[in-house]
Amino acid sequence: MSKVGVPLRILCIHGYRQSSASFREKTGALRKLLKKQVELVYIDAPHTVPTSKESELQDKTASVGDNQSGWWFSDAQACSFDARQECESSFGLEQSLEAVRMAVKDLGPFDGILGFSQGAALVAMLCSLQEQKLDPTFNFRFAILVAGFRSGCAQHQYFYKGVNVRVPSLHVFGQDDKVIPEQMSRDLLHIFIGADILTHHGGHFVPAASAHKHIYQEFLKRFQ
């Protein structure tokens, strides 16, 4: 538990085709906005994403020229991921869960967890495991999910069916997000009890304008 005046420690889970370094850079405005309240700790996904100039141009969230990694692949053969893809099975999630376990053990403890895009989808899974008491490693007091969504993989549906996640959560989504449309993020709200929501008019990014500051702060104050 965070003491008064001590920043909350938050584990940060980057998006697909990103890295800990690029996500740290992309959340610079958020770190500045909340510098008195939080300490953000970033980790890398365990799976390297095959890259090409064409794929980098298509994916505007990619960190061009940087190490690009992902938490799982919806197409195991092609080692690719599409949030809208429905599949029977995926590849790589178990290794990613283990990577987060190791981060908690080696870098923790953490008060909360924050994820973006595929990282936010993973955060929802971690919260589900915590709620179902399927993994004692995860004991987050809160979660922040930016552009989150439900996995379309049949193998992952146990994270959602009949699950009511009581971990306090803040769900952030852009009304002009073309990568993860707002409705995909809203579809994830059903498993979270009493979720807080922050909407913004922009696209696929972590918003950190002064207009959003009080929403983040009011949410985080509950845990300080």
User: Domain extents for the chain?
Assistant: 8-221
Q: Per-residue pLDDT tens for 108-155? A: 899 999 999 999 999 999 999 999 998 889 999 999 999 999 999 999
Q: Dump pLDDT digits (tens) for 24-42.
A: 999 999 999 998 899 999 9
First vs last C-alpha separation in the chain: 8
Element holding 146 (H helix, E strand): strand 142-146
Q: What confidence tens digit (pLDDT) does each residue in 85-107 have?
A: 888 888 999 999 999 999 999 99
Tell me whether strands 47-48 and 69-70 are parallel, antiparallel or unpaired: antiparallel
| pLDDT > 70? residue 61 | no
User: Which amino acid is present at 126?
Assistant: L
Q: Give the residue numbers marked as catalytic.
A: 117, 177, 204
**What is the DSSP code (8-state) at residue 132?**
T
Token duo for residue 188: 């994830």
Q: Do 222 and 195 touch, CB atoms closer than 8 A? A: no
What per-residue confidence (pLDDT) applies to 55? 45
Kindly report the CATH class assigned to 8-221: alpha beta
* Strand, helix or coil for residue 224: coil
